[in-house]
Each structure stands twice: as structure tokens, then as C-alpha cells.
Amino acid sequence: MRLEIGNFYVRNIIFGEKLSFESGILTINKGEALTYIRADERITEAELYIAKPGDPIRICPVKEAIEPRVRPDGRGVFPGYTGDLERAGNGTVHALKNCSVLVVGRHWGGFQDGLIDMSGEGQKYTYFGQLNNIVLVADTNEVFEQREQQKKNDALRRAGHKLAEYIAQCVKELKPEETEVYDLDALIRRGEDVEKLPSVVYVMQPQSQMEELGYNDLVYGWDMNRMVPTVMHPNEILDGALVSGSFMPVSSKWSTYDFQNCPNIKALYREHGKTINFLGVIMSNLNVALEQKERAALFVAQIANTLGADGAVVAEEGYGNPDADFVGCIVALEDAGVKTVGISNECTGRDGQSQPLVTLDEKCDAIVSCGNVSELIELPPMEIVLGELEALGRDGLSGGWAADEKLGPSVREDGSIIMENNSMFCGDQVCGWSPKTMKEF
């Protein structure tokens, strides 16, 4: 399966008369784009903004991030979700790099929403502070979930994905600045020089804990709570087969942008044929009941053995309850003779003294930490706020609060904030972006 991603590097974004891309400048006709978004009758308010690195902008509550892409052959970018159900991972797609569409609530946030700073101390906490962002700030008529802690955010998330496809139309027929090629031979058709290398599989555990449809990550439009672990080609993940859901504390989330650009997959690709034989991806899930967790771990270990894996890398989206899936999967792989490395964040409390994972096992002896979700972050006021900062405290974002006996409210009268890392949008960057390192004291 061969995937070619044609890259167009966005150096600036402006609003103008015509949707276009020229010499690194992305021009968007705001009026036409908003008209396109408002075609969904559920959208009651919508506005577009531009947020670039260094701008004095704070964005909250952020719900989703998507890289603008288009397929020259006319197929949908997210099969089974925004387009017809077709196979992803093969062919050509054009992508606007250094750029994302951010979906932001105009009035209402929730447990799964977060914050992005485009400058200052807070910029470093999330990858999206480094990108040129088209920010869709909108509200919907989905009043039934406005005051709910967990929201499906269906209209807003779909609006973001459709907007990303709409914007990328401007590069559909252009020649890319560069082309990334991802080409992985079938498992039984690899040469001796590759097969003699250690065989490694990447195990992904996207968020799928909610039994009610509409919250979980989607694979080809299918709710991942309704599946058991299976094999996927890595190109499928890079090519729109997975869409982020609307569940889980937001620092732990994988946005759709993260799936489209998954650094862990790209790193394994780079080593394929050099130091490892990259077998592909075991797509697992995260469950609630113990039996479901054990079944998933059993499937993962069996698939790894069937593929002939010598080693595995396991990454979980989330923490807390999902830690049981994460640790159980690592233990099952180790018991099956597969040497395994885990990638996860930790929840060690504001003082750093609590148990890092809900459950532990001595066989989990190689885990990469992406930081503490409970780390306290204090930030000064920001000149511009896109969205509604009060959602950080009022609406129960995972790392914010209305009042605390010692710390007071998350959002102070002067616009400064105090919060846990929990509320940084995709801040733990478990999929491979994380720049964090360990220090000994």
C-alpha cells in the first residue's frame, strides 16, 4: 500500500476575496467559508479567526484540531465520516502543513475541551501553539447537552472536518512543495535483509470507553467501542481513517490532527529496513468492564504473535480507567514473549507524590512518561481570548474549577488563570510530539 502526501507549507494566513494558496500564503474568503459552515442548520453562531505563533491570543474551550487536506481524485478525506466509505491509505492526498483548523465553543465547554496559548509561557504546553491556526468559534442548537459535563459536540466537530476539507480545495490541483511517501510491503513479501531485523508492531489504544454512541473515536466512521482489536495498515491512520472523539480529559486526547500526522508511526517508518522490520499497527481500544479489558489484551497478544512480532510499542489515549487496559496489554504482550515499551502520561497529583498509573505490574519495566496531567500551571492574562475563558471554571473542564479552598477560581478577575495540565489541549502529546524530558533531583 503506497500513500503519497503532497505538502504545501503555510507561512501566513489572511482573509481576502478568494480562497487561494500562493507563495506560502493561504487566503480565505471568510464570508464564503462561514456560509459553507452555516449550511448545517444546527450551527446557530459562527465566526472565523486567525491565530499565529506569537499572537497575544488565548483559545478556550478547544474541542478539535484537523489538518486541512484534499484528495486530487475527489474522494473524501475522512471516509465513512465526511465522505463515502472507501479504503484509506492508498493514493495521493494534498495537505496544508504548519496549519490546523481549531474548533472552539462560543459559549459551552466540557470535560473533554481544553486551552491553547499562542504566545507567552503557555505556548509551550501544546503543539498547536506552534501552528498557523484557522479558528472556528461556533455554537449550536444542541441545547440538550449544553450543561452536560460530557458533550458529543457532533455539529461542531463535523463543521471543523468539513471546513478543513473546504479550505484545502485551494491546493487540489497545485504541485506540492514536497511529497512524503509511505510504502510498506505486505508481510509475506519482504526481503531477507528486512526480515532478519527485529519485527516491531505499534499498538494504538484510542479512546472508546463510552458505551453510548457519539463520544468515542471513530475508525472509518465506526464507533470504536463496537470493535475488538484488529490489524491496520499504518497508512490508513495517516490518511484519515481515524477521527477523534469527544471524550476524555483533554490533555490526554488525540485530535484528528494527531492521527493524520502521528509521529510515532512516522518514526517507526523511518527505521523500517534500517534497524527494525515495521509490521504495522494493531488497532486496539479502551474499555470499561474488566472482562472487556482482558479480551482486548488477549486479542492484541494473539495478533502480535501471529504477525511474528519481536517487539511492540503501546500508546494509550487517556489515563485513569484506561491505565488498566494499557498495563494489561503490556503484560499480555510480555507474557507472549513480545518485548514491549509503553508510552503514557501520569497522574501523580499536584504534588507529584501519587501513584503514576491506576494499576502497575513489574513487567511494565520500559515506559516512556509524557508528564503529569495534574501539574499546576499558572498563566498571566492574555490580550485576546477566542471563545469563552469562563468555560475553564464554569463548565468543569478536566483541569479547571469554579472554586478551590486554597487556590481560588481557575479564572481570576484580571484574566489570569491557574489550572492543571489536564486542561491543555492535547498537551501530553502521547502520540509522539512530546518535547518533555526527565530530570533527577
DSSP string, 263-326: HHHHHHHHHBTTTBEEEEEEE----SSHHHHHHHHHHHHHHHHHHT-SEEEEEESS-SHHHHHH
**Ranges assigned E (strand) in 305-392:** 311-316, 339-346, 367-372, 376-379, 384-387
For 90, the 3-state DSSP assignment is coil
Find residue 138's DSSP bridge partners.
Answer: 46, 105
In angstroms, rounded to a whole number, what is the distance separating the alpha carbons of residues 339 and 197? Answer: 14
pTM of structure = 0.96
Total Cβ atoms within 10 A of residue 148:
14
Mean pLDDT of 407-435: 94
Give the cell for residue 237.
491512520
Q: Rounded to an integer, what distance in angstroms lies between the CA atom of residue 135 and that of residue 281?
A: 32
For the cut 90, the answer to whether the pLDDT of residue 13 exceeds it is yes
Q: What's the whole-number average pLDDT of the chain?
A: 95
- Rounded to the nearest 5°, which phi and psi values hold at 375? -60, 130
Domain coordinates in residue numbering, the chain: 2-423
Those residues with Cβ within 8 angstroms of residue 215's Cβ, 6 or more apart along the chain or in another chain: 150, 152, 245, 246, 247
Distance of alpha carbon 397 from alpha carbon 389, whole angstroms: 11
Q: Residue holding cell 505490574?
A: 361
Confidence class of residue 397 from pLDDT cuts 50, 70 and 90?
confident
pLDDT at 441 over 80: no
For the ranges 15-24, 65-74, 104-113, 352-361, the lowest mean pLDDT is seen at 352-361
